[in-house]
Amino acid sequence: MLAHKPPMGWNSWNTFTKNIDEKMIMDTADAMVETGLRDAGYEYLTIDDCWSEMERDGNGMLVADREKFPHGMKYVADYVHSKGLKFGMYACSGAKTCAGYPGSFGHEFKDAEYFAGVGIDLLKYDNCYHPSSPDMLRYNRMSLALKATGREILFSACNWGRESVWTWARSVGAHMYRSTGDITDKFESIRRLSESQLENLPMSAPGCYNDIDMLVAGLYGKGNIGFGSGCTDAQYRYHFALWCMLMSPLMIGCDIRNMSEETKKLLLNKELIAINQDEEGRPPIFVSANNGLKDSIICFRHLADGEFAIAFFNPYDRDQTMMLPYVEIGLDPLCGYGFRVRDIFTGESLGVKRDYFEAKVPATDCRVFRAKIVKI
């Protein structure tokens, strides 16, 4: 089964846009191994838009840009595979890709053959320049074309949440589906995109996950979607931890050949990754903040091993004490049970908490805990 858990990997778009080439991709494959990202679960290396020539060949086949990829795409795919990684590429359901390269509309079956010939393991399928037809039909068409190749290819549908994609993405065979417009390297964007999906998460489950968009953690304003100095480390922590709690696919967008120590530590955080990759894929329960700070996110998630994840996200620019009163999750104070809590960032055991659990959360930052239910 593909996408039993939220897919993890790296994608070229957020940092490199059209400035992609064979050497950068191969160096990135090396870096995925050397930094430990591959072994932490980031298995897909995906080349986004701007990889092809502007024209198809005489047989109507797509052609990789001859300057950027002088040895052709199969050569790159083989190299990526030789590193124990999976290889992803990008196409678009319209006449052109979003950056204006040849699109797959009317060429779906030929393009699927091309991609299978290259040996891809993931196809990100975008939604620009299409004639007016239901997105669902165009996405199912490419999904069928991929199936017809006989190759197992993870289908990453990217229609930015149009036409309530969460209601049909699973039905057309998508393994992940973009539910939002493009993320930018700003805290406001992280907040807006994630908050827009809190109610859609019940559709996210093994086999097909809601993709809130690729990660901006570690960009610090560099690359295609950077603004000024980007976000702070605390804000990237908020972002990454939230994507983990919400079971979004984790597609790194920064230049992993030059990551800061903080970025590396964050992206390799085993406990957060384990929450994201939890076997059962259960969406969290959201609890409203009881202090009037309505944009805070307090969530409680059942995990497959019988434990729970509790997370507090403070989007405000001042510190605040956040609280999970257990009655809000159905645990009455008289029942005689509480939670033994451990901070996943510090590893510190906080003991058994009865009736409620509260923690100080710095401005635009988060705290994440593992909890076990115990008799008091």
Q: Which residues are catalytic?
A: 126, 182
To which residue do tokens 């257990």 refer? Answer: 326
- Identify the helix (H) or strand (E) that includes residue 183: none
**Nearest distance, CB of residue 348 and ligand GAL, angstroms:** 38
* Cα dihedral 224/32/204/361 (nearest 10): -80
Angle between helices 135-149 and 108-118 (to 10 degrees): 40
Closest separation in Å from C-beta 135 to ligand GAL: 13
Residue 46 or 296 having the CB closest to ligand GAL: 46
Cβ-based nearer residue to ligand GAL, 183 or 359: 183
Measured from the CB of residue 230, what is the shortest distance to ligand GAL in angstroms?
Answer: 17
Nearer to ligand GAL, 51 or 308 (CB): 51
Could you tell me the smallest distance in angstroms from the CB atom of residue 99 to ligand GAL? 4
Q: Side chain identity at 113, as an amino acid letter?
A: E
Q: Contact residues for ligand GAL (CB under 6 A)?
A: 13, 48-49, 97-99, 126, 158, 182
For residue 352, how many other CB atoms are within 10 A of its CB?
16
Q: Tell me how far apart the alpha carbons of residues 130 and 242 are, in angstroms, rounded to a whole number.
A: 33
Q: Specify the residue, 179 or 314, whose C-beta has the smaller distance to ligand GAL.
A: 179
Provide CB contacts within 8 A for 157, sequence distance 6+: 125, 139, 165, 169, 172, 174, 176, 177, 178
Closest distance to ligand GAL from the beta carbon of 181 (Å) = 7
Between 113 and 126, CB nearer to ligand GAL? 126
What's the min distance (Å) between Cβ of 164 and ligand GAL?
A: 17
Nearer to ligand GAL, 20 or 158 (CB): 158
Distance CA 319, CA 350 (A): 20
- Give the DSSP per-residue string, 297-324: EEEEEE-TTS-EEEEEEE-SSS-EEEEE
Give the pair of three-digit tokens for residue 356.
């409620």
- Phi and psi (nearest 5°) for 124? -90, 130
8 Å CB contact between 321 and 360: yes
Q: Which two tokens stand for residue 124?
A: 């990100």
- Which tokens sit at 57? 């060949």
Cα gap 56→69, rounded to integer Å: 15
User: How far are the Cα atoms of 282, 283, 373 from residue 42, in angstroms, in the given order?
Assistant: 21, 21, 31
- For ligand GAL, the closer CB: 215 or 361: 215
Of the candidates 120, 160, 366, the residue with the CA atom closest to the CA atom of residue 246: 366
Q: Cα–Cα distance between 17 and 114 in angstroms, integer? A: 22
Kindly state the helix (H) or strand (E) to which residue 33 belongs, with its residue range.
Answer: helix 22-34
Whether 87 and 77 have beta carbons less than 8 Å apart is answered as yes
